[in-house]
Amino acid sequence: MPTRAPFLRTKFGGYFHREVPAEDAELTHVGPGTPCGEYMRRFWQPVCFSDELKDLPHRIKMLGEELVVFRDKSGAVGLLELHCPHRGTSLEFGLIDERGIRCCYHGWLFAADGTILETPGEPAQSTLKDRLCHGAYPTHEAHGIVFAYLGPPDRLPPLPVYDSFVRPGYRAIPGQTYFYPCNWLQIMENAMDPAHTAFLHTIVSGAVFTEEFGVLPELDFAETPIGMIYIATRRVGENVWARMVEAVLPNLQQVAPIWENGQRAHPFSGPMMSRWIVPIDDTNTMLLELRHVSEMDGVTPPWWADRSMVPGQIAAASYEAGQRRPGDYEAQMSQRPIAIHALEHLGATDRGVSMFRRQTRRGIRAACAGSDPAGLCRDAGAVIATYCNDTVVPVAPAPTEALDKELMRRTGRDLAEGYVRHPPLGDARVEAARDRAEALV
Ligand code: FES
Ligand SMILES: [Fe+2]
């Protein structure tokens, strides 16, 4: 880890900050051959939504690699290296064929798995195409999302099925994509930093979510078998509202409903969305949402099902508008293209950030040592339990504010520990979930 900047104890001491330390490369660099890049490549990653693949190929970048994604006329999805192995022309200008994609320059034809099917112009007896393959990655479509595996072929895991994706009474539908000009880690950390919802989203920018989000919550954090959750507990009248937002290793977040206000008691709600924080390269990141929409009226607001944007997730309309009403976008991308941890001063509310960094570093080191990192599931039939939710329970206030805070914390902690012991989605309804999961794979 890079050396920390000095802890300034001097007024007007800017001069003593002479050097800007380097970023933590182990956690933030994602290109081929980097430790974190290798870690990310052990997991299936989303590439785009299925309905984006029409009659033209898409040029994309993922984990620092230039790639082309397309659907051929037989319906197969290909994810190939961008540059043709003949003389390097980009396949974004290729012609989509019955089977594969054809380079526009001299017509070489590539199947989705990288097989070179034709090399027109080469002599008939040429064996080049039988000896050479183009670089390709396996893909899989589920829930309207194209996933790809960019890791070592002999370690290909099954596509994971989380209980929230196959929840009875809910549809999992494609949402939006958002693009951030900064490193993936600061976007993941944002979700493990609940203090910001009370400040940035309420006090600075007016109530972006519900008014009740403006109360500074009692905070706690807990590791789960697949990552971690924060537990933010607030008092709303006679109720205690516990909100748990989840980081699923390595780069999936599950967010509890932002329309919750804690007024009405209810059990475990499950997440409103799951979203992947996909590194494009070291300084650009794509968020891709899978939204969870209830099949019952009045549970999920209509705007959620029609793919409207989540407030505050894209750049403000102008620089000035961003200064006057900053959102997640302004807060995160302005931490620098890659936030420098050696310049930070983490406080009590940042325990979630530290916990997530520790888990990530453990995963990176496990992957680099040749083991499976935590969160990777090799059981093809498994429905993996997850823990994101809002729960609102009636709990009379304690006599003093300090005791009530203690009571809130304990309530949140007890709920969370109970959920980790008996996952509400992955346990009681696991059979139904498993049936639906089987129908998907
Ligand atoms: S450069 Fe692609 S076929 Fe020649
Ligand atoms: Fe936020």
Ligand 1 atom closest to the Cα of residue 106 is 3
Q: Is the CB of 108 under 6 A from ligand 1?
A: yes
318 shares a domain with 258: yes
- In this prediction, residue 429 carries a pLDDT of 45
Paired tokens of 66: 């230039």
Q: Closest Cα to atom 3, ligand 1: which residue?
A: 106
Q: Is residue 257 part of a domain?
A: yes
Q: What is the CATH number of the domain that holds 397?
A: 3.90.380
Query: Which of helix, strand or coil describes residue 109?
Result: strand
Of 122, 148, 174, the residue at which a domain comes to its end is 148
Question: What separation in Å is there between the alpha carbon of 243 and the centre of ligand 2?
Answer: 14
Which atom of ligand 1 lies closest to the CA of 84? Answer: 2
Percentage of the residues of the chain whose pLDDT score is greater than 70 = 95
Ligand 1 pocket mutation, candidates 81, 82, 83, 84, criterion most atoms within 8 A of CB: 84
Determine, yes or no, domain membership for 349.
yes
Mean pLDDT to the nearest integer, 261-272: 96
State whether 291 and 179 are in the same domain. yes
Whether 25 is covered by a domain: the verdict is no
Comparing CA positions, the residue from 158, 143, 385, 378 lying closest to residue 275 is 143
Query: Considering the domain boundaries, does residue 36 fall inside one?
Result: no
106 and 227 share one domain: no
- Its domain, for residue 115, covers 46-148
362 located within any domain? yes
**Quick check: 171 pLDDT over 80?**
yes
In a domain, 40, yes or no: no
- Nearest atom (ligand 1) to Cα of 119: 3
The separation between CA 255 and the C-alpha centre of its own chain, rounded to angstroms, equals 10
Q: Is the pLDDT of residue 386 over 80?
A: yes
Q: Check whether residue 232 and residue 328 sit in a common domain.
A: yes
What's the number of domains the chain is made of?
A: 2
Q: How far is the CA of 37 from the centre of ligand 1 (A)?
A: 29
**Long-range contacts, 258-261 (Cβ 8 Å, 24+):** 258/208, 258/209, 258/210, 258/213, 258/310, 259/209, 259/210, 259/301, 260/210, 260/212, 260/390, 260/392, 261/210, 261/211, 261/212, 261/236
Q: Does 83 have pLDDT greater than 60?
A: yes
pLDDT tens digits, 402-431: 999 999 999 999 999 999 999 998 654 445
In a domain, 355, yes or no: yes
Q: What is the mean pLDDT of residues 26-48?
A: 98
Same domain, 99 and 176: no
Q: Which amino acid, one-letter code, is at 379? A: D
pTM of the entire structure?
A: 0.94
Q: Are residues 54 and 194 in the same domain?
A: no
Three-state secondary structure string covering 349-403:
HHHHHHHHHHHHHHHHHHHHCCCCCCCCCCCCCCCECCCCEEEEEECCCCCCHHH
Between the CA of 172 and the centroid of ligand 2 the distance, in Å, is: 22
Ligand 1 closest atom vs CA 108: 3
> Which position has the higher pLDDT, 6 or 164?
164
Residue nearest to atom 1 of ligand 1 (CA): 87
The answer to whether residues 65 and 128 belong to one domain is: yes
Q: Which ligand is nearest to the CA of 118?
A: 1
Residue 270 DSSP one-character state = -
- pLDDT given at position 441: 43
